[in-house]
Amino acid sequence: MPDRLTVDTALDALRAAGDPGVAAEQAAYHKTSRAFFGVRVPVIDDMARGWRQRISLPARLELAAGLWDSDVHEGRVAAAKLLTQARIRPDDSGAWALIVDWAEGFDSWALADHACAAGARRLVADPARVDVVADWTLHPNLWTRRAALVITLPWARLNHPSAHDTAIRERVLDWAATYVPDRDWFIQKAIATWLRELSKHDRARSTAFLEAHGAAMKPFAAREAAAHLTDRPEKPPLP
């Protein structure tokens, strides 16, 4: 396979796939001076998948780093997509370190979520990395603090967690409890999302958290967190 795909070549491909009208809409929505090409995420996903297949892992890491540093919105999305896969061998190749480096400078929910989708897979591959994420909960950057809940969502979605998984789940819930006094909408939304996902798999634990902290959450967040906990009416008996 080819050893390299340059950042300029990748950006040219993204630019060619863009739509100026969509770019203007995206820039207005995200309210940032960052460059937008107007490429839809599914298109970026397809392009990144093709690049992953064409180039070696070292070249992919180099390309991902360069695309993130380009500060083009689609370039950063593509950078995250290049690292979004369950298995990366060797797992200590540098992908996790790159995502951790990006997390320090997250500045929007959209790009943080794409990077966290990649990072969550690296966490599942090596749960000891949760120790690194713990430091994010005290970070001065709002988006980095929020990312601590987004990147750990796999532990909210386990049907049959091991003892170790349960310990990680409890650790994240402790983080969420410390976030409750934070009135920022995005922080409250992140708490709500974690609890809503948890409620699909561990109703009792999600309920217990809301009983302890729900009254202190913003009303919209408490409602969203409890969305799957409301009692459903019983079906009438068959005649």
Which tens digit of pLDDT belongs to each residue from 113-129?
999 999 999 999 999 99
More confident residue, 2 or 39: 39
- Mean pLDDT to the nearest integer, 169-176: 98
Share of the chain above pLDDT 90, in %: 91
Does residue 198 lie in a domain region? Answer: no
Q: What angle do CA 110, 219, 137 make, to 5 degrees?
A: 50
Does residue 31 lie in a domain region? Answer: yes
Closest of 45, 36, 53, 126 to residue 80, by C-alpha: 45
More confident residue, 239 or 171: 171
What is the pTM for the complete model shown? 0.92
Return the pLDDT at 33.
86
Return the pLDDT at 230.
80
Return the pLDDT at 1.
47
Return the pLDDT at 204.
97
Does residue 120 lie in a domain region? Answer: no
Q: How far apart are CA 75 and CA 159, in angstroms?
A: 35
How far, rounded to the nearest angstrom, does the alpha carbon of residue 233 sit from its chain's CA centroid?
A: 34
pLDDT of 232 above 80: no
How far, rounded to the nearest angstrom, does the alpha carbon of residue 204 sit from its chain's CA centroid?
A: 25
Does residue 136 lie in a domain region? Answer: no
DSSP 3-state of 35: strand
- Mean pLDDT to the nearest integer, 155-180: 98
Q: What is the mean pLDDT of the chain?
A: 94
Transcribe 177-227 into DSSP letters. HHHTT---HHHHHHHHHHHHHHHTT-HHHHHHHHHHHGGGS-HHHHHHHTT
Does residue 23 lie in a domain region? Answer: yes
pLDDT of 157 above 60: yes
CA dihedral 149, 151, 152, 155 (to 10 degrees): 130
Rg for the chain, CA atoms, rounded:
20
Q: How far apart are CA 65 and CA 59, in angstroms?
A: 10
Does residue 147 lie in a domain region? Answer: no
Whether the CA torsion 104, 106, 112, 118 is positive or negative: it is: negative
More confident residue, 92 or 112: 112
pLDDT tens for residues 174-209?
999 999 999 999 999 999 999 999 999 999 999 999
Determine the structural domain holding residue 5 and report its residue range: 1-82
CB atoms within 10 A of CB 200: 14
pLDDT band at 4 (very low <50, low <70, confident <90, very high): confident
What total number of domains does the chain contain? 1
The number of residues in the chain equals: 239
Does residue 60 lie in a domain region? Answer: yes
pLDDT of 136 above 60: yes
Q: How far apart are CA 194 and CA 88, in angstroms?
A: 26
pLDDT of 30 above 80: yes
Does residue 124 lie in a domain region? Answer: no
Return the pLDDT at 234.
38
pLDDT of 231 above 90: no
**Contact between 149 and 179 (Cβ < 8 Å):** yes
Return the pLDDT at 3.
61
12's tokens: 């040219």
- Mean pLDDT to the nearest integer, 82-87: 94
- Mean pLDDT to the nearest integer, 161-185: 98
